[in-house]
Structure 1
Amino acid sequence: MQKLNLQQRLLQKLSPQQIQMIKLLELPTMQLEQRIKEELEVNPVLEEGGDQVSDEAEMADKTQEDALSNIDSYINDDDTPNYKLYANNYSKDSTKTAIPFSVGIDFHASLEDQLGLRPITPRQQALGQYLIGSIDDDGYLRRPLENIVDDIAFALNLEVTEEELEEVLQVIQDFEPLGVGARNLQECLLIQLRHKDQEVKAVYNATIILEKYFEEFTKKHYDKIASRLGLEEDELRDAIEEIVSLTPKPGSSYNDPHSAYAEHIIPDFVLELKDDELMLSLNSKNQPELRISREYQAMLQEYVARKLDNTKKDKEAVTFVKQKIDSAKWFIDALKLRQNTLMLTMNAILEFQKAYFMEGDETKLRPMILKDIAEVTNLDISTISRVVNSKYVQTHFGIYPLKHFFSEGMQNDSGEEVSTREIKTILEECVASENKRQPLTDEALMDILKEKGYPIARRTVAKYREQLNIPVARLRKEL
């Protein structure tokens, strides 16, 4: 039995303007420039140029406000539904996209060009094109040939065998860049080595190592390899240098704008040190100042002056102008709010980490989390997170993401609160200066840190080492 219940609930819902404001706050400088250009294209009322602060401009603004107040009563003078007067220039499911900045040689197109130069049958050409389409951006064919046989049967209506595909794949594996079309790293490196002079001893030894002792090589069991192949230390070192010089991702040598986006780092803030004083500013060199078009303001003034007839055509025209002016005013105000929020947040970070910004010494970075800055600025933590995300600051010692200045804290043996980044810096220095023949284990690193006054557990050392992308001791071993 169905029942109808009437419930009253309080729900918190973001308005379209609030959603747009959040998106503006998240945008880094480069994408903000693009967003401003898009707004200038869709809103004819908005134009470039700073506000003219003068008595004439103030009078125009006052006249505009009077016109807008009169327009409200003018528009609402009939029974036109409100939804017909609402304009939204942005899709609710609009998403951020990265901005490609360069156009290089298309990787897959290059392979297809090379395929066209080979003396093969039309059938092999078709199979070759399908295989090339299955190669990923790194240059690997990761899908098994047996599965590709089924794909070709459905897509091209061709019955082929794995042997036939293998024959065509051998042709592709002879293309530039060397190593393309490989099914795994071992095959990729071997393809490159086999195009070198095998009479060179180092090349020959490197080929044997990859063919027979690939697993031992990846685990850096060099002593085992040397004993089994009867190699001297110098011979083993030369062979390993040959392998290391190879390209593990042949496709990465091409810049494919359709598969990846290379991103320029344009700092959002500029921090300068002048006379022992830190000077912070927003990087807005390429962002135009915006204002509302005087022509559209004059149009409204004309309406006030001559009292347009109460016709549907006039109402539609005035409604359009009002909506565009409201949208332009909101966008200009939103940009100012974004600027103020960014500066407020960055100034709080600057004050919190002043000792670090004066010298650029990472050991002077204080423990700092989003909550610390939120409390100083009286902003929500989610707002601070959006400001920090994808934003960069240019300092006198380099360009850094804002996230770089946030880290957790811990106490040293004297009870002083220190940043985990300070500990990571020490770890990096220890690994950089270690004997590569006998790299420092996590336990050894733990002991070093304890001697320096940082009592942390071995598993914590392992966690920090992984965050720094430092391999375990066994994989750092060198001859």
Structure 2
Amino acid sequence: MKQSLQLRMSQQLNLTPQLQQSIKLLQLSTLDFNQEIEQYLADNPLLEREDTADQPEAAEQAPDTAETSAEQGDDLDGLRWDEVKSGASFDDDDEHDPTLRVAIEVTLRDHLLQQARLLGLSARDHALLALLIEALDEDGLLTQQLDEIFAQLPDELVQEFELEVDELRTAHQYLMQLEPLGIGTRSLSECLLLQLKSAPHLPEYELARQLIDAGLELLAVRDFARIKKQFHCDEDQLRQAQQIIRSLNPRPAANWGADTTRYVVPDVLVQKLRGRWTVRLNQAAQPKIKVNEMYARLLQGEAGESMAGALQEARWLIKSIEQRGSTILRVAQAIVARQQAFFEHGEVAMKPMVLRDIADELELHESTISRVTTQKFMLTPRGVLEYKYFFGSHVENDSGGENSATSIKALIKQLVAQENPKKPLSDSAITEELARQGVAVARRTVAKYREALNIAPASQRKSL
């Protein structure tokens, strides 16, 4: 085999560090973006925030502020303002401890254990009660049998302390005395019956007890005719008993979830000015940084050769931030221009739109639009909405036009809200009604959209 050298020409796309940085910043959410900028500020000494440029003026005013504070301190007889507001005193070391200012989240387990300490139980009973608290499910119910929980205990522990199942049953009785009422019960009916005992004794109390005990399945499927026949009641009695049952909480631990509040910072602000919808960047979400001028002058000499790379990175970052803000604003303006009917009339007027529509209009790649619309939000008169909210599939109508999935869902919500509660609309009836309005969709599509809206089937929406 003869070896030879050949020349070939080819094109290859290489991502420069600057381009990689721009792509990374573009796909970050506002909160993550600001955290990333904070890291850049900490790593690069040539970067600084523009809003810190007025610190000398603040320093000049500091003596006057100190004198004013001293005068106020004399008027308060030496007490600190924090002590006056709270009515309490604390050591100087505590005043600057940030951990003392953090709110403590009390879990359901902590809440139950705090109540258990007030029962005056022995250490043995308290330990068994804590064992049952650990066995509760996310709804606050004890789905395991007591015999099963007892069998899971180590044999050495049972023999050493001579534990018996009856002691666990006693601890279970203590558990069901704790708040929220219904905690520790072993079934839905037991949970509701326990709460019903503490409710005011209303005229339909006995019927509600019977329905909970033997008629929950019939209530679930809304078989009111069979309920009235089986429990010998009329429609008014059944309606009142149903209201009593609805006032009870089937999930005692529902308010003790581990969900944390998720704060959203809008990237752009949308408002109507002089009859036109305008979009502008949220300046509070856009960090303003610049190159430190003093360090930049020093880099002009020989001493700055080692820091030349840091200066170039600082300039790249500032340019990437500007490009990110410009791209986010352009995409938002294109979205608002296409969806003006939505801002005027709501979800019913939402137009079908896909990422390619905005990409072609702005002459950007579709992947760029995907990055921009991910975890980016706009503050509008109709609430804080994510960019991706405006994109979705479409369905052709009878007139040759198109309806977006969002507008069809809005129409389904309107039809369900206006239906007769005694004769709710089935999926087929909703399909026919949409067809009368010029929206031709299949019944399975209506069922899919209804489930996405968390709307129950017609059999479960029926009421007296």
**Alignment TM-score, normalising by the size of structure 2:** 0.76
- Once the two structures are superposed, what CA deviation does each residue of 1:312-366 show, in whole Å capped at 9, x if it has no partner? xxxxxx75x5565555444433322321221222122122223333x13333322
Q: Distance in 1 between matches of 2:271 and 2:157?
A: 65
CA displacement at 1:31 relative to structure 2: 4.1
3-state SS in 2 of match to 1:281? strand
Q: Distance in 2 between matches of 1:19 and 1:179?
A: 55
Identity %: 33
Match of 1:77 in 2: none
CA displacement at 1:138 relative to structure 2: 4.1
Q: Is 2:378–2:386's contact at 8 Å kept on the other side of the alignment?
A: yes
Match of 2:407 in 1: 422
Distance 1:34 1:440, change over 3 A: same
Match of 2:422 in 1: 437
CA displacement at 1:434 relative to structure 2: 0.7
Match of 2:217 in 1: 215
Match of 1:29 in 2: 30
Q: Distance in 2 between matches of 1:130 and 1:454?
A: 58
Correspondence for 1:247 among 246, 249, 252: 249
3-state SS in 1 of match to 2:183? coil
Q: Distance in 2 between matches of 1:166 and 1:15?
A: 69
Q: Distance in 1 between matches of 2:165 and 2:25?
A: 53
Q: Distance in 2 between matches of 1:151 and 1:11?
A: 63
Q: Is 1:173–1:181's contact at 8 Å kept on the other side of the alignment?
A: yes
Q: Distance in 1 between matches of 2:20 and 2:204?
A: 61
> Equivalent residues in 2 for 1:292-303 (5 A)?
292-297=291-296, 299-301=298-300
Q: Distance in 2 between matches of 1:173 and 1:12?
A: 67
Q: Is 1:219–1:474's contact at 8 Å kept on the other side of the alignment?
A: yes
Correspondence for 2:323 among 333, 337, 342: 337
Q: Is 2:265–2:285's contact at 8 Å kept on the other side of the alignment?
A: no
When the two structures are aligned, how many residues end up with a matched partner?
404
Distance 1:230 1:379, change over 3 A: same
3-state SS in 2 of match to 1:250? coil
Q: Is 1:407–1:420's contact at 8 Å kept on the other side of the alignment?
A: yes
Q: Is 1:51–1:290's contact at 8 Å kept on the other side of the alignment?
A: no
Counterpart amino acid of 1:367? P
Match of 1:466 in 2: 451
Q: Distance in 2 between matches of 1:104 and 1:201?
A: 41
Distance 1:211 1:133, change over 3 A: same
Distance 1:110 1:269, change over 3 A: same
3-state SS in 2 of match to 1:426? helix
Q: Distance in 2 between matches of 1:277 and 1:283?
A: 19
Q: Distance in 1 between matches of 2:226 and 2:150?
A: 40
Correspondence for 1:224 among 223, 226, 232: 226
Instruction: Answer with 182-191 or 451-460: which moved more.
Output: 182-191
Q: Distance in 2 between matches of 1:18 and 1:151?
A: 58
Correspondence for 2:170 among 140, 147, 167: 167
Q: Is 2:267–2:285's contact at 8 Å kept on the other side of the alignment?
A: no
Q: Distance in 1 between matches of 2:128 and 2:312?
A: 58
Q: Distance in 2 between matches of 1:221 and 1:373?
A: 50
Q: Distance in 2 between matches of 1:181 and 1:291?
A: 59
Match of 1:195 in 2: 198
- Once the two structures are superposed, what CA deviation does each residue of 1:397-432 show, in whole Å capped at 9, x if it has no partner? 333222221222222112222223222222111111
Q: Is 2:270–2:378's contact at 8 Å kept on the other side of the alignment?
A: yes
Q: Distance in 1 between matches of 2:182 and 2:14?
A: 54
CA displacement at 1:270 relative to structure 2: 0.6
2:384 paired with 1:399: yes
Distance 1:440 1:333, change over 3 A: same
Distance 1:281 1:51, change over 3 A: farther
- Once the two structures are superposed, what CA deviation does each residue of 1:71-94 show, in whole Å capped at 9, x if it has no partner? xxxxxxxxxxxxxxxxxxxxxxxx
CA displacement at 1:157 relative to structure 2: 4.6
3-state SS in 1 of match to 2:229? helix
> Equivalent residues in 2 for 1:9-48 (5 A)?
21-48=22-49
Higher RCO (CA-CA < 8 Å; seq separation 6+): 1
Q: Distance in 1 between matches of 2:144 and 2:39?
A: 41
- Once the two structures are superposed, what CA deviation does each residue of 1:115-164 show, in whole Å capped at 9, x if it has no partner? 1112323223223223323435543445565554455439x955766654
Counterpart amino acid of 2:125? Q
Q: Distance in 2 between matches of 1:151 and 1:45?
A: 62
Distance 1:201 1:453, change over 3 A: same
Structure 2: segments with no counterpart, 5+ residues: 1-10, 54-101
Q: Distance in 2 between matches of 1:449 and 1:185?
A: 39
> Equivalent residues in 2 for 1:307-326 (5 A)?
321=307, 325=311
> Equivalent residues in 2 for 1:379-390 (5 A)?
379-390=364-375
3-state SS in 1 of match to 2:463? coil
Distance 1:145 1:348, change over 3 A: farther
Q: Is 1:210–1:217's contact at 8 Å kept on the other side of the alignment?
A: no
> Equivalent residues in 2 for 1:368-387 (5 A)?
368-387=353-372
Distance 1:224 1:167, change over 3 A: farther
Counterpart amino acid of 1:109? D
Q: Distance in 2 between matches of 1:346 and 1:253?
A: 37
Match of 1:108 in 2: 109
Distance 1:234 1:373, change over 3 A: same
Q: Distance in 1 between matches of 2:207 and 2:15?
A: 66
Distance 1:105 1:443, change over 3 A: same
Match of 1:74 in 2: none
Match of 2:462 in 1: 477
CA displacement at 1:37 relative to structure 2: 3.7
Match of 1:179 in 2: 182
Distance 1:331 1:132, change over 3 A: farther
Q: Distance in 1 between matches of 2:431 and 2:197?
A: 44
Q: Distance in 1 between matches of 2:426 and 2:366?
A: 38
Q: Is 1:50–1:291's contact at 8 Å kept on the other side of the alignment?
A: no
Distance 1:409 1:300, change over 3 A: same
